[in-house]
Amino acid sequence: MSLQKNIAVLLFMLSGYNSFAQDCKVLTHAFSVKYVGECKKGLAHGAGEAWGDALRYAGEFKKGAVTGKGVIYFENGSTYTGVVQDGLREGKGEMLYHKAEGDSIVKGYWSADVYRGDRYTTYKVNSSASFASYDISPSSASGDLLTFEITSTSGQPNTGSGIYVSNLLVKCNDGEGWGKVNSTYNSNNTSFTTVQITCFPAVIQGRLTNGNTFEIELYKAANWKIKFYINK
């Protein structure tokens, strides 16, 4: 079934709701003024419709979050139909821009509410010259953990404690700060570091204990696995 047909089915389901679920919360702040729809354990879950001060959303909800397939209605008459995560355009969708001189439609992929083109792009590596190669992947669901895996392509990363992330500067739209390191451990020729951050999108600037540095832009809120391969 096409994305548009899926959305149409959701909207049909919503047509049966005619009351405001007062004790069912929407945790996505931009859509938390009013909610009508399915509820689970006090949170919006399933098919529903939510309103904010300047936005309206009809579609899927998950554990109180505006997450799934749906339609976002903007105050100026524009609409987005597609995949949404935490109230932001995230994935494949179609944006109808309503303008006085005539409507226009843009199809493709969004991440962190920004149009990325005809490919789903969730990150950008600005600098990785210190590494032989890398592999970066986000979870499909929302999250806030970064797991760094440092592997040597020619044996043990380092004699003794191994190579791992020693400093991590996180730059957000509202400022910058240091990432909170949750754990660091080694296994054979690989070391692991888990870091918690508080914002997305974010620019991550890091340094390893061997002096290697990197800079990565992470767009979507997720639990990220970031693998660096080092030649000794």
The whole model's pTM is what?
0.83
- Residue 18, pLDDT > 60, answer no
Return the CATH fold of 123-230: Immunoglobulin-like (2.60.40)
In the prediction, which pLDDT does 160 show? 41
CATH 2.20.110 positions along the chain are 3-117
C-alpha 53/C-alpha 74 separation (Å) is 10
* C-alpha neighbours within 13 Å on the C-beta side of residue 5: 2
Q: Model confidence over 75-90: pLDDT tens digits?
A: 999 999 999 999 999 9
- Beta strands (DSSP E) in the chain are 34-40, 43-51, 55-61, 68-74, 79-85, 88-97, 104-111, 114-117, 123-127, 133-138, 145-152, 165-172, 175-178, 180-187, 190-196, 202-208, 213-218, 224-230
Mean pLDDT of 14-42: 82
In the prediction, which pLDDT does 133 show? 87
C-alpha 204/C-alpha 213 separation (Å) is 11
In the prediction, which pLDDT does 9 show? 53
pLDDT mean across residues, the chain: 87
CATH 2.60.40 positions along the chain are 123-230
Q: Model confidence over 101-153: pLDDT tens digits?
A: 989 999 999 999 999 999 999 999 987 667 888 999 999 999 999 999 988 77
In the prediction, which pLDDT does 157 show? 46
- Residue 5, pLDDT > 80, answer no
Per CATH, the architecture of 3-117 is what?
Answer: Single Sheet (2.20)
Q: Model confidence over 145-175: pLDDT tens digits?
A: 999 998 877 655 444 446 788 888 999 987 8
